Structure 1
């Protein structure tokens, strides 16, 4: 099967390329455009490949209701209504243009997760280069179809979705015209324990769906994300903030700038270490031949002398014949005189 790939603003994303690191700004602006702009700057400085926003208004994602259905029970946002949470967390739509312009100056791609068709329209006006479908929207087939109709690359997070729902989302995207599609393994916990991630799902997803596959990681450090690269993840998405103690709804489970820089560096190191199947001697090993064993003469002998077992030994360095050739050399005659400490080579041994 051909290795899948997608391209966002000229950057190929595939198993043949280093992992594509997305810094998720989410609600970490904490109500200040200046903070959002700084997050974009720090993401670019850390080496992220892209910044991602979330585009919704509270009234496009939920209802302003105090009933129990609309009140959060348990977890990080316990007791709050959905409308209250999204009112605080949402990115004002008038901020999108300055953020897109700022990212362009910094030469870092920026795109977003739209949560309804009006958000897609706004992002199309800004010429967003790609779209991300959030985990909880993976079952919103009409939204996926509308995003697919733009013809832009699409990344779908699969948190909460079972295998059948993932397949339905993929089919909806394909049928509506999406040519470049990727999916992200995800656990929709905030934060999520590493033990919930079951990263062995990633190679199964790659085989099952045949798509560029990555990880949306809500754990508190980089270990899970880096491990995912070894299992085939081509994309890593992590929430990113200036200060984990900033008090915003997403700050506490987000990476800070030095941690994002470490993720960008270490995930690429992990990818580079994968390499290819290769049993040959590596370039870094060439100088260490002196520490291998090989056959050396331990007596001075004349041309025509018989090579006796006590005249040859396996010693370091490794510039002579392999120790496995000992029995082939012994009892043969020399084709030239040798001194003590001469490496045994086939040109010194008479042919049978």
Structure 2
């Protein structure tokens, strides 16, 4: 995952992750199709999730395990995760498919057995979901593997993020990337608070980014302009697909446009540079300068009526205008002539 290794470089390109999540709809062939579509749309990485309903929760329908609001209202946690999970027997094959076409493969484990499984299939990095920021034992176990860790921070307080980061570092792992995230589905602009991302970079001295659950690409492109080095976005083949995440996921053409806009934003940000470009040098010829705007006779005084600061730039610089007013011309000068030092010195006669 070369893209992750270079993110500490301020001039590195943003690393763009397409989150498959539940959008395969339980069909292996669709999962493969999503991987190819993500690659075609410009993603650097395809991400899945490694859990089963039984590793992430229990089969219970009492009040604690029932979702009472939002887009998944009425579901139990178990029933939702049963629909959404990616079968583990697929995952090695999906990774090999990603490797074959040249797109990075990443997964979010939700318990230690998932970490062990992902180690067996030789993943190169880990994602920690927002909901798991408080699972310190899990974070410690993931960190002990010594691989890069991307951690989303939706719902987390500064103290909770600090504890998670410190847990990773205590394991001798400093390969940390933190994503600002609003854990609402979909998120609205008022809840994005992208300035927090900048504060996290300052507080933890790590590359930062955005796990974006909002609709469209405005938040993602804005985040990149603010310094985000990672963008994660849910990805589906079509929002018409009846999956747990399709309603807030991005379709391939939209994702491709987002990638295009991010790359344009990166080009526009460029580097700190006060040098004049070749095209700007051409434009400089259309700056303002001092010009003769009415025929002037030898010995005639220079006034606001016969010389002015106008475009283009072939005359004396405008900063000398007040100094030359009232001086006497040494020669006849025609209207439209650039006013230069050869015509009259700054000091006058």
Could you tell me how far 1:235 is from its partner in structure 2?
1.2
Map of 1:162 onto structure 2 = 157
Change beyond 3 A, Cα 1:10–1:105: farther
8 A Cα contact 2:129 2:151, kept in partner = yes
1:319 to 291, 314, 321: 314
Let me know the Cα RMSD of the aligned residues. Answer: 2.4
8 A Cα contact 2:302 2:328, kept in partner = no
Map of 1:65 onto structure 2 = 60
Deviates more, 1:260-269 or 1:28-37: 260-269
Could you tell me how far 1:161 is from its partner in structure 2?
0.8
Map of 1:344 onto structure 2 = 339
Q: Unaligned regions of 5+ residues in structure 2, if any?
A: none
* C-alpha distance after superposition, 1:100-154 (max 9, x if no partner): 1111121111111111112112222222121100000111111111111111110
Map of 1:174 onto structure 2 = 169
Q: Distance in 1 between matches of 2:342 and 2:247?
A: 70
Q: Distance in 2 between matches of 1:193 and 1:311?
A: 60
Q: Distance in 1 between matches of 2:318 and 2:33?
A: 63
Change beyond 3 A, Cα 1:327–1:56: same
8 A Cα contact 1:217 1:224, kept in partner = yes
Deviates more, 1:134-143 or 1:71-80: 71-80
Could you tell me how far 1:223 is from its partner in structure 2?
1.4
* C-alpha distance after superposition, 1:52-84 (max 9, x if no partner): 110111111111223222222211111222111
Map of 2:70 onto structure 1 = 75
Map of 1:90 onto structure 2 = 85
Change beyond 3 A, Cα 1:229–1:196: same
* C-alpha distance after superposition, 1:275-314 (max 9, x if no partner): 4556665554433335432112346678x85662254332
Deviates more, 1:27-36 or 1:81-90: 81-90
TM normalised by structure 1 equals 0.90
Determine if the alignment matches structure 1 residue 308 to structure 2 residue 311.
no
Q: Distance in 2 between matches of 1:217 and 1:37?
A: 23
Map of 1:138 onto structure 2 = 133
Map of 1:216 onto structure 2 = 211
Q: Distance in 1 between matches of 2:77 and 2:331?
A: 90
Q: Distance in 2 between matches of 1:109 and 1:13?
A: 18
8 A Cα contact 1:307 1:329, kept in partner = no
Matches within 5 A, 1:22-33: 22-33=17-28
Matches within 5 A, 1:236-315: 236-276=231-271, 283-298=278-293, 308-309=302-303, 310-315=305-310
8 A Cα contact 2:110 2:132, kept in partner = yes
Could you tell me how far 1:196 is from its partner in structure 2?
1.3
Secondary structure, in 3 states, of the residue corresponding to 1:53?
Answer: strand
Determine if the alignment matches structure 1 residue 124 to structure 2 residue 119.
yes
Map of 1:3 onto structure 2 = none
Q: Unaligned regions of 5+ residues in structure 1, if any?
A: 1-5
Q: Distance in 1 between matches of 2:106 and 2:45?
A: 8
